[in-house]
Chain A
Amino acid sequence: MSGAPATLPDGTLDATVKALILAYENGDSIALGNLLQQFTATKERTLRREVAQLAAVLQTGLDRLGQNEQLTRMARREMPSARARLQHVLKLTEDAAHRTLDLVERSRPAAERIRSRSSDLAAQIAHSAAAGADLPPHGTNAARVASELQATLGDCDEIQANLLEVLMTQGFQDLSGQIIRAVISLVEQLELALGQLGRICGDEVDVPTVQEAAGSGFGPVVPGVNEGLTHQQDIDSLMKDLGI
């Protein structure tokens, strides 16, 4: 009669059962107890490993579900909002470009009138000089010079006013810039969500770091996206109500 092994043999269940039977048949209760304890411990380790694997699978599923929810929210709410914002930027830039072109076109006739008057006066002065007359022309010509200069002043004022408006029109860059910054922030969030989703799926991707959105406000009012008091009169009225 051979003795039962002190430890469970590696390998098949068959070998394990044989070792247990042998210990039983030999009436070696100590060996049998040890072998049973080892058998139970092995099964417990296997069970724990399987439960851990199951938990990991569940966690991955939950993460993916969370990621999907974030992506769904972006697709449903924030992407249309980004589209509306960019369309508003397009309108702002188009309006500003047209306004600037209008003002330039409106200024050109005034500049042309100034050039024409200056040219006429220069010719008259040259003619008077050639005839040996006093400079600048006097008498009836002096009255005309005064009138021409007065008209030139009017044209200069018109050009100056147009230039000031061209200057103001460039304010679109600030407004559109603020809107574009908000869209950049959204794109960064989307990039982050997609990166995390890729990582969950096992892709080797670098998850980007999202920059903190600049500033602390809501940005300019964009029709259909956010609301606010867009007329200065309404703000003045509110300020008055507030005692300012």
Chain B
Amino acid sequence: MSDLNVLVVDDFSTMRRIVKDVLRELGYPNVQEADDGNSALPMLQTGRFDMLITDWNMPGMPGLALLKAVRADPKLKGIPVLMLTAEAKREQIVEAAQAGVNGYLVKPFTPAALKEKLTKILQNQEARKP
């Protein structure tokens, strides 16, 4: 079991539940939820989270705006962000990459794909440490 603290942001409660259950299955039991960027940002600012998994298309603050807000905040900018979304246009993926996303997983996804993305992101984070 990992002690990684993960925040899952999605406006659909069913999807938050699915991601949370899959993360538990993959060995990440410390997961909290938010339904859009506006509710996620204050949670992130508490400094309790090591990983952000966010949807793109949400009312209020969408995932891309949340990603940009995280990267613009000196205290949060180092948090790895995985975009988990049905948005799949090439220009959107490029835009997310330019905004500093660490991984991009398209819905519908498999537990194996989520595991692979998390592992890769965490390995890259580890490699960047001085």
Interface string of B15-40 (1 = CB under 8 A from A): 10010011001000000000000000
Contact with B along A230-243 (1 / 0, CB 8 A): 10100100110011
CA distance A177 to B57 in the complex (A): 12
Asked whether any CB of chain A lies closer than 8 Å to the CB of B78, the reply is no
Q: What's the minimum C-beta distance from B81 to chain A, rounded to whole angstroms? A: 11
* A174–B25 alpha-carbon span in the complex (Å): 21
Q: Whole-angstrom distance from the CB of A237 to the nearest CB of chain B? A: 11
Check if A173 sits within 8 Å of B14, measured CB to CB.
Answer: yes
Picked from B62, B101, B108, B110, the residue with its CB within 8 Å of the CB of A215 is B62
Which of chain A's residues have a CB closer than 8 A to the CB of B107? 171, 174-175, 220
| Residue from A215, A228, A243 in contact with B89 in the complex, judged by beta carbons closer than 8 Å | A228
Q: How far is the CA of A227 from the CA of B111 in the complex (A)?
A: 25
Chain B residues positioned under 8 Å from A238 (CB to CB): 90, 93-94
- What's the nearest-Cβ distance from chain A to residue B69, in Å? 14
Residue of chain B at shortest CB distance from A92: B108
Assess the B106–A229 pair: CB atoms within 8 A: yes
The 8 Å CB contact of A174, one of B86, B90, B93, B101, is B86
Instruction: Look across to chain B and name the residue whose beta carbon is closest to the beta carbon of A217.
Output: B57
Q: How far is the CB of A100 from chain B (nearest CB, A)?
A: 13
Q: Does A178 contact B (CB under 8 A)?
A: yes
Q: Are B89 and A218 in touch, CB under 8 angstroms?
A: yes
Known: A214-B58, A220-B86, A235-B93. A167 touches B105 (CB 8 A): no
Which A residues are in CB contact (< 8 Å) with B25? 164
* A170 to B12 CA separation, bound complex (whole angstroms): 11
Are B106 and A235 in contact, with the CB atoms below 8 A?
A: yes
| Bound complex: CA A164 to CA B22 (Å) | 8
Q: Which residues of B contact A227 (CB under 8 A)?
A: 89
The CA-CA distance from A171 to B22 in the complex, in Å, is: 12
Q: Which of A164, A217, A229, A232 contacts B56 (CB 8 A)?
A: A217
Whether B14 and A170, one on each chain, are in contact in the complex, defined by CB atoms closer than 8 angstroms, is yes
Say whether A221 faces chain B, with CB atoms less than 8 Å apart: yes
A242 B94 Cβ-Cβ under 8 A: yes
Chain B residues with CB below 8 A from A133, complex form: none
Q: Tell yes or no: A12 within 8 A of B by CB.
A: no
Q: Which residues of chain B come closer than 8 Å to A243, judged between CB atoms?
A: 97
Does chain B have a CB within 8 A of A219? yes
Q: Does B113 contact A (CB under 8 A)?
A: yes
Cβ B111 vs Cβ A171 within 8 A:
no
Interface residues of A in 196-244 (CB under 8 A from B): 214-221, 226-230, 232, 235, 238-239, 242-244
Bound form: Cα–Cα A216–B93 in Å = 14
Q: Which residues of A contact B (CB under 8 A)?
A: 164, 167-168, 170-175, 177-178, 214-221, 226-230, 232, 235, 238-239, 242-244
Which 10 pairs from chain A and chain B are nearest by CB?
A228-B88, A217-B57, A215-B57, A220-B86, A214-B59, A174-B15, A174-B12, A216-B62, A217-B87, A242-B97
Binding site for A on B (CB under 8 A): 10-12, 14-15, 18, 21-22, 25, 56-59, 62, 64-65, 85-90, 92-94, 97, 101-111, 113
Q: List 29 A-B contacts (CB under 8 A).
A: A164-B25, A168-B22, A168-B108, A168-B110, A168-B111, A171-B14, A171-B108, A173-B12, A173-B15, A174-B107, A215-B11, A215-B56, A215-B57, A215-B62, A217-B92, A218-B57, A218-B92, A219-B57, A220-B86, A220-B107, A227-B89, A228-B90, A229-B89, A232-B106, A239-B97, A242-B93, A242-B94, A243-B97, A244-B102
